Each structure stands twice: as structure tokens, then as C-alpha cells.
Amino acid sequence: MAGADLNKLLRPLELVLRPDPTRVALRPFTPAENGGGEFRPTRPRVQRIVERVLSLREEELAQELERIVGGLSERHGDLERVLLRRFHDLAEQALMGRQATHDQKLAIGGYFVEEYSFESAALFNPSVVPHPDQGGLSAGSVRLIFSLRGVGEGHLSSISFRTGVFTASGELHLNGPVRSPVSPLIERIPGGAPDDPGARLYFGEHQDLSQLVIFPVTYRQRGGLEDLRLVRFTEEDGHPVYLGTYTAFSGESVRQELLRTRDFASFELSALRGPLSATKGMALFPRRIDGHFAMLGRHDHENIWLLFSNDIYNWERGEVILQPRWPWEFVQLGNCGSPIEIEEGWLVLTHGVGSVRTYCLGACLLDKRDPSKVIARSVQPLVRPGPAARGGYVPNVAYSCGAVVLGRTLLLPYGVADTYTAFATVSVDALLQSMQ
């Protein structure tokens, strides 16, 4: 199913999420300055563009504004807010004391945004958490939020969301995406260092989650935001917060950063610190263990590590708890999403890399009191890429960034060939019995 060979334990669902190049987001655009030397202009390029817009006659301005608004209004929500924000963020200082009308501000803002098809190439590597709103559902049903990694031009990755309902009968119903993505208001917040700020993104309340697109907004993210691993984290006082680790790629180096939200309307993005954060694949446990934050990771790019910290943003100590054992994981073993707490212990989805750089999915069970103890693990993969997966964006890959247990059923969303997303379910009891 969906280009993969599934273990007989898994039941495939007849659902697939494929990339849609018609879905576009508005993101900031700042034109580069001209070259140096004798050809370098005396005024900044932004200022020169602003002056050209201000020089338009009234009828010319109206025509240009119609082209901007008419071409974008049906494809984007909150368009006027985005254009005005770009004017204030970038161009207002270029007025040099002059005044601009409302229409001039909108037109100027239009020169400093660009459309980006954020999932034109791929939509994959999902994670899943329960939705904070569980109202209005039939008995036994659960509303869910799925995070997805979209890839567009230049292999640039962004984060988007979809919602759905998993029913008591074991069926998954996904909601279709709203056609007008919303661009966030962006605010810089303190980061790990004065020259390394984080960001707060505000999308506004009552937006459909499928409209939200989190694209790179800081210098250290400029190469993409990859593989968000969402988890519903319960604070010691019982209050929940949604956290997610993801890989920030600068174009030269990678590191882990943390997404934080309570309402899926505003998000904080901040870098993790410490020697264990300069890697990929970290995933938080959904609660503290013995008073400490706990994380699984792949610090050495080969084994699964268990990490502990008293500061959720600083990770300095850990130990290897799982090493490659079976042929399908001889090259590399890593965790997928956050550990899932069940009666028997911590259920962890894993990925293994074997021959021909083939990525398969498996699982393991960790002791609930002491997660450094491995109780059991998969002998055979749950998902192995099949022949149809070899023609994808990245051949021979099955990968997930998180699953969820509902009752005694594991719902597993997973990416196929780094191209699209498929879904399957498996009985937790049968899965545990298959391990050794």
C-alpha cells in the first residue's frame, strides 16, 4: 500500500496526502543590494524602490495596487495586514520623513513579499497529537492535529498542519485544506545568544490550522525547517503545552530548535543549546521523568541516545541505549517521534537504515521508570519501502516523526520516498507480542 511493504500486523488506511503546488504562502522578500565598488549606489535599494512607488501618478498607483491585490486576495488570507506589516517592517524608514497614503503603503508592501509554493515537491514526515478541542465528537472519536514537512523550490522545507478525526471504529477522516494560507506576524524574541534571536509567530485566532505555514524566519533557519516532532507535554502542575523539536538548517550546519504553542495561533521558535543539540532527530518525552526533562536523540548519527536536562533549552548529557542489531538497521538506528506512554512502558517508533540506504520503520519498548532499559524491540520492520517508493523524491525511504495510541490502537502516519504521506494502524497488543 502507498508504495511500501507493510508488516502483516499493520492495517493500511485508504488515505494519502500528496503535495499540492497550487498552495502558496506569502513570505518576506528583501532584494539584495547591488555590487560594491564604483557601481554601488549611494542610497539603499529599498529606499530607491520606495521612491519609485511614491512617484507614481494616482491612476498609475491604482492600477498597480489592483494588480497586487487582485492577483493575491483569492490566494491568501489577511492580505492587507501582511502588506502593511511589510511596509512597516522594511520600508517605513525609507520614507525619510515623507508621508505615504494608505494605498501607497499597500503598494510598497507588495514589492517586499513573494509567493512561495511550500509543498510543490513533497509533503511528508508527519507527526500527530490530540487536538486541544475535543468538543462535538461522537463517543470514542478523537480529533487530531498532524504536522507535515512541505518541500518547495530549492529544497526549502516549511511546517504546515492538517486536522482529522479518528473514530471509535478505527477510521481516519481528514479535513481538506483551506485554499488561502495565512502569513504570520513575526516578532524577534531573545535566543541563545544576542546575535541569535528566536521568533514569535502570530497567525490570529480562529484560523483553520491548514492555513498556517511556518517558514524559515531567522538566519540560522534559512535553509529550511525539517521534521517537526510534536508532543503534548504535561507540565508538573497538570497544564498541557504543545512542544515540538525540529531541525533548523542554515545551509551550512544543522541544529535542533524548539517550537512552543498552547493554542496553535501563536508559536515561539527558539534554539536548543548544548553539545547534544547540534544534530537531528531529537524528540521530547511527554512529561518530566524524576523531575528532569527527557529526550531521545541520535547524537552520533548511528545509535539512539537517552538525554536528560534540568533546562529544556540546554542539552549536555546522555547515553546510548539502543544500537543497530538487525540487517535493516545496520547503518543507522534512530527514534521517530516522541515516546508514547502506555501501561507496559514507553512505546517508541524507530527508523533503521540498511542496505542501499533503505529507511524502514520499527518500534521498541522502554521501561517506564527507567527508560534507559530496553524491554523489547522489533525484529522485522513494520514498514519497508516497496517497489513503488523507488521513484519518489528520495527513493527507498519510509519515515515518521510521530504516532499516537488511541485506546489500544497505534495510528501511524508516515512519509513515503520523501514525497507524500500514508497512514496505517496496528494493535498495540499485537505489536508488543511481535517484539523480542
> Do 106 and 46 belong to one domain?
yes
Among 68-82, 167-181, 321-335, name the most confident range. Answer: 321-335
Separation CA 295–CA 338 (nearest Å): 8
Task: Provide mean pLDDT across the span 228-237.
Answer: 95
pLDDT given for residue 1 in this prediction: 41
> Do 95 and 121 belong to one domain?
no
Least confident of 2-6, 112-116, 214-218, 247-251: 2-6
Which residue, among 46, 61, 48, 73, has the nearest Cα to 103 in the 3D structure? 61
> Do 354 and 401 belong to one domain?
yes
Quickly state the pLDDT bin for 91 (edges 50, 70, 90).
confident
Q: Looking at residue 403, which CATH number applies to its domain?
A: 2.115.10.20
Quickly state the pLDDT bin for 35 (edges 50, 70, 90).
low
> Do 98 and 168 belong to one domain?
no
> Do 107 and 157 belong to one domain?
no
pLDDT given for residue 34 in this prediction: 74
Task: Provide mean pLDDT across the span 281-298.
Answer: 97
CB 404 within 8 A of CB 423: no
> Do 29 and 14 belong to one domain?
no
Final residue belonging to a domain, choices 116, 131, 150 = 116
- Domain tally for the chain? 2
> Do 148 and 207 belong to one domain?
yes
Quickly state the pLDDT bin for 32 (edges 50, 70, 90).
confident
Residue 108 has pLDDT above 50, yes or no: yes
Long-range contacts formed by 70-75: CB under 8 A, 24+ apart:
72/26, 72/110, 72/115, 74/180, 75/24, 75/115, 75/179, 75/180, 75/181
* Predicted confidence (pLDDT) per residue in 184-198, tens digit: 989 999 876 677 889
Final residue belonging to a domain, choices 101, 116, 131 = 116
Quickly state the pLDDT bin for 388 (edges 50, 70, 90).
low
Q: How many residues would you count in the chain?
A: 436
Residue 2 has pLDDT above 70, yes or no: no
* Predicted confidence (pLDDT) per residue in 351-368, tens digit: 999 999 999 999 999 999
> Do 12 and 138 belong to one domain?
yes
Residue 392 has pLDDT above 90, yes or no: no
Residue 333 has pLDDT above 50, yes or no: yes
Residue 3 has pLDDT above 60, yes or no: no
> Do 234 and 352 belong to one domain?
yes
* Predicted confidence (pLDDT) per residue in 239-275, tens digit: 999 999 999 999 989 999 999 999 999 999 999 999 9
pLDDT given for residue 213 in this prediction: 95
Task: Provide mean pLDDT across the span 211-219.
Answer: 94
* C-alpha grid cell, residue 72: 493575491
> Do 286 and 385 belong to one domain?
yes
Separation CA 132–CA 285 (nearest Å): 18
Final residue belonging to a domain, choices 86, 116, 146 = 116
pTM: 0.93
pLDDT given for residue 193 in this prediction: 67
pLDDT given for residue 38 in this prediction: 64
> Do 280 and 223 belong to one domain?
yes
Residues above pLDDT 90, as percent of the chain: 81
Residue 101 structural domain: 25-33+40-116
Quickly state the pLDDT bin for 220 (edges 50, 70, 90).
very high
> Do 108 and 221 belong to one domain?
no
Task: Provide mean pLDDT across the span 30-52.
Answer: 82
User: Got the DSSP string for 217-276?
Assistant: -SGGGTTEEEEEEEEEEEPTTS-EEEEEEEEEE-SS-EEEEEEEESSSSEEEEEE-BSGG
